[in-house]
Chains A and B, each alone.
Chain A
Amino acid sequence: MSAPLTRAEAEDLLFREALLIDTQRFAEWLGLFTPDVEFWMPAWRDESSTTEDPDRELSLIYYKGRRNLEDRVMRLTSGLSTASSPLPRVVHQVTNVMVLEATEDGATVSAAFTCHRHDVRMNRSDCFFGRYEYQLVRQDSAWLIAHKKITLLNDTIPTVVDINSI
């Protein structure tokens, strides 16, 4: 019998994920996701509601499968993307972490985030903020991310938002 996920364990995972992105350890970051992860940042349908059905409505980002995140990381770090070279400096602050549901091998976690990004190319700083919703699953002794939904609240986007600044 394993104990359900605690808030401290959830924070450890979410803070570690933030650190891996902030320090550009993308291979380790990818290792936090299940192979069939759903990674989703909906678009806004109107002033007060986001899109809800990724198959019938547009998302800012929607991927089913870690393989797609690998493609994104490959592009981001390839040196072949003008928008990503040099990579911006980012720091994620993940707060308000709550375990909403927890069983022995699964958990739903919500959190808030701000991501400060300094675009060294344009000498410009931006801040993105919103909420996270995670579905975590226990595999062996580790918790992995099976679903991550990012609700970006300030969605008039200055030029670019990539997976490292949300």
Chain B
Amino acid sequence: MDVTRYVDDRPEDGVFRVNRAIFTDQAVFEREIEQIFEGGWVFLGIESQAENPHDFFTTTMGRVPVMVQRDGEGTLRGFVNSCPHKGARLAQTRAGNARLHVCPYHSWSFDSAGRSKAIKSHRAGCYSAAFEQTDHGLAALPRFEAYRGFLFGSLAADVMPLADYLGEAAKLLDLVADQSEEGLELVPGQVTFTYEANWKLQLENCSDAYHFTSAHPSYIRVLERRQQEMSADVVASVWENSDYWKEEAQGVAGGSYSFANGHVLNWGIFGITPAIPLYESAGALAERHGEGKRDWMFNMRNLTIFPNLQVAENASSQLRVIRPLAPGLTEMRTWCIAPKGESAAARRQRIRQYEDFFNPTGMATPDDTVSYENCQIGYAGTVEPWLQGYARGMTATVEGGNRFSDLIGMAPERSVLADAQLCDETLFHSYYRAWAQRMAGESEA
């Protein structure tokens, strides 16, 4: 595929443009599924989703139904969730516990390590010798690896090790994983929603500092009312206790980091405030990890691990899994991700802040997803096919890190240190450079 038709990347000329067709073209979409979602590392879930022996959870990689299963000895594996007999989906639920999976169609069965246990009426089946010599177990994912409790798989075998794929961005997953010595968990209650627009709009919006005061003025009005009319009934928002995002804010307020393979972070300074549920651990975390890393845990952080994982720690803490369904249709599965062992009060605060801001039933997310739909409608306007949304920060981006990334010994490919008004867009370049490499077939991820 000639990717220069879709991404116009000429740093020497100060030009970075993306063609609208990247979001609408059916052939582009199908190649994305093959090259990106079924051709390299994608996020599957976290270990605590299958905590105990024989626990499993299900997900998808591109179009492929997948089951992640822990066996009786505690080993986690990833399988295609499809019976080798007729192809029927095997595990029917999002999660569960099963020593044995019995296919509901013809009763072939499999143990929790994916091995064939029994073929119904095997001896009476008059099978050929060739059949008897075939393995009847579940198809294992060609690659399956974990990093700090985050599970990834690849349907292509010839990919780099996960640690290389994550690269320096792994240190940002550490900031999530290290918030408790007991590790991470998903708060019970999964929320799934769809929007009628391309999956890359979600990729971009998470990293987009520029939209906040434009897309969410109704939420900002609510914050203002809460500040004017204090009420014990209202949970304090992280945003109303921070000024960094405000258009009139002064000084360095945050910025962005870009990494190899399409991972990005945008971040801002919240400070060590009781509005953040982690506040109760502020002292202990500083002792355990040092003040620099502790302060990073309290920064607003929107992390994308390309192509389908986002961990947004802003109004609360959200784990998102992006699933493209069609060029103009995307499914989002979302959870509140939290450190294990936090106090009941902190957990309650985290949950209330989450529901207030996130969720398709909250006060901010719908104004984002509806904006994606407006973009998708607008993309049909191909009189001028090249979008201008990748230009902010072009003269501010520098190679390597800065004094903030140094605090956690992190070496990104590029960084921008910004005041509140800069709202860098060069971090999107990392997405589209990785996208172009994968689509061109140049990179094995």
* Chain A contacts to B: CB under 8 angstroms: 36, 41-47, 51, 54-65, 67-68, 71-72, 74-75, 78, 80-84, 121-122, 124, 155-162, 166
Contacts and interface: CB of A to CB of B under 8 A. Distances in A.
Given A59-B355, A121-B370, A44 B189 contact: yes
Contacts of B225: 71, 74
Given A46-B95, A160-B360, A67 B233 contact: yes
Nearest to B231: A67
Given A57-B351, A160-B366, 10 more contacts: A43-B189, A45-B190, A51-B188, A74-B222, A78-B218, A81-B219, A83-B370, A157-B191, A158-B196, A159-B370
Contact of A82 (B187, B192, B226, B370): B370
A82 B365 CA distance: 11
Residue among A43, A61, A62, A68 with most chain B CB within 10 A = A43
Residue among B188, B222, B367 with most chain A CB within 10 A = B188
Contact of B369 (A65, A67, A80, A83): A83
A59 B361 CA distance: 10
Interface residues of B, number: 46
Contacts of B355: 58-62
A26 to B, nearest CB: 14
Interface of B: 93-95, 187-196, 215, 217-219, 221-222, 225-226, 231, 233-234, 331, 335-336, 344, 347-348, 351-352, 354-355, 359-361, 363, 365-367, 369-371, 373-374
A12 B377 CA distance: 43
Nearest to B193: A157
A68 B218 contact: no
A58 B187 contact: yes
A83 B192 CA distance: 18
Given A60-B191, A159-B373, A84 B218 contact: yes
Contact of A55 (B192, B217, B347, B363): B347
A55 B335 CA distance: 15
16 contacts: A43-B190, A47-B94, A56-B187, A57-B187, A58-B351, A59-B189, A61-B355, A62-B351, A67-B233, A68-B233, A75-B222, A80-B221, A156-B331, A157-B194, A158-B195, A160-B193
B190 A61 contact: no
Contact of B367 (A71, A83, A122, A156): A83
Contacts of A83: 366-367, 369-370
B189 A159 contact: no
Nearest to B372: A159
Nearest to B215: A82
Contacts of A166: 361
Contact of B360 (A63, A82, A124, A159): A159
Contact of A155 (B187, B188, B192, B331): B192
B193 A156 contact: yes
